[in-house]
Amino acid sequence: MKFFFLIFLLLLNQSLFSQELNSTVFINSDNIETSDKYIFDEMKVAFEQFLNNQKWTDDTYKNEEKIKCNFIINIVNLPSISNFEASVQILSSRPIFNSSYESILLNHGDKDWSFEYVSSQPLEFNENNFNNNITSLLAYYAYIIIGMDNDSFEKLGGEKNFQKAWKIVNNAQQSNYIGWDQFGSNNNRYWLTENLLNPELEIVRKSFYNYHINGLDIFENNAEKSRESIIKDLKNISEVNQIKPNSILIKSFINSKSSEISNVFSEGLINIRKDAYNILSKIDPSKTENFSKILN
pLDDT beyond 80 at 1: no
pTM of the predicted structure, to 2 decimals? 0.93
Over residues 51-64, the pLDDT tens digits come to 999 999 999 999 99
pLDDT, tens digit, 9 for 90 and up, residues 47-106: 999 999 999 999 999 999 999 999 999 999 999 989 999 999 999 999 999 999 999 999
Q: Is the pLDDT of residue 118 over 60?
A: yes
**Average pLDDT over all residues of the chain:** 93
Q: Using the predicted structure, report yes or no on whether residue 12 has a pLDDT greater than 80.
A: no
Residues whose CB falls within 8 Å of the CB of residue 184, separated by 6 or more in sequence, listed in order: 112, 178, 190
Read off the pLDDT band of 16 (50, 70, 90): very low
Residue 179 has pLDDT above 50, yes or no: yes
User: Is pLDDT at 172 greater than 80 in this prediction?
Assistant: yes
pLDDT at 140 over 60: yes
What's the confidence (pLDDT) of residue 36?
85
Q: How confident is the model at residue 139 (pLDDT cuts 50, 70, 90)?
A: very high
Nearest to 164, CA basis, from 69, 54, 44? 54
| 3 pLDDT above the threshold of 60 | no
Q: 155 in the Ramachandran plot: left (φ > 0), alpha (ψ -120 to 50) or beta?
A: beta
**Residue 263: pLDDT band with limits 50, 70, 90:** very high
pLDDT (average), residues 283-291: 94
Burial (CB count <10 Å: 0-12, 13-18, 19+), residue 50: buried
Q: Which secondary structure element, helix H or strand E, spans residue 88, and what is its range?
A: strand 83-95
% residues pLDDT > 70 (the chain)? 94
Q: What does the pLDDT average to over 182-199?
A: 95
Quick one: pLDDT at residue 150?
98
- φ/ψ (deg, to 5) at 95: -70, 150
Please determine, for residue 14, whether its predicted confidence score (pLDDT) is greater than 50.
no
pLDDT of residue 34: 83
Share of the chain above pLDDT 90, in %: 89
Whether residue 15 has pLDDT greater than 50? no
The pLDDT of residue 17 is above 80: no
Q: b/e for 18-31, b at 16 or more Cβ within 10 A? A: bbbbbbebebebee
- Tens of pLDDT, residue by residue over 217-232, are 999 999 999 999 999 9
C-alpha to C-alpha distance for 61 and 42, rounded to whole angstroms: 28
What's the average model confidence in pLDDT over 191-219? 98
pLDDT value of residue 7 = 40
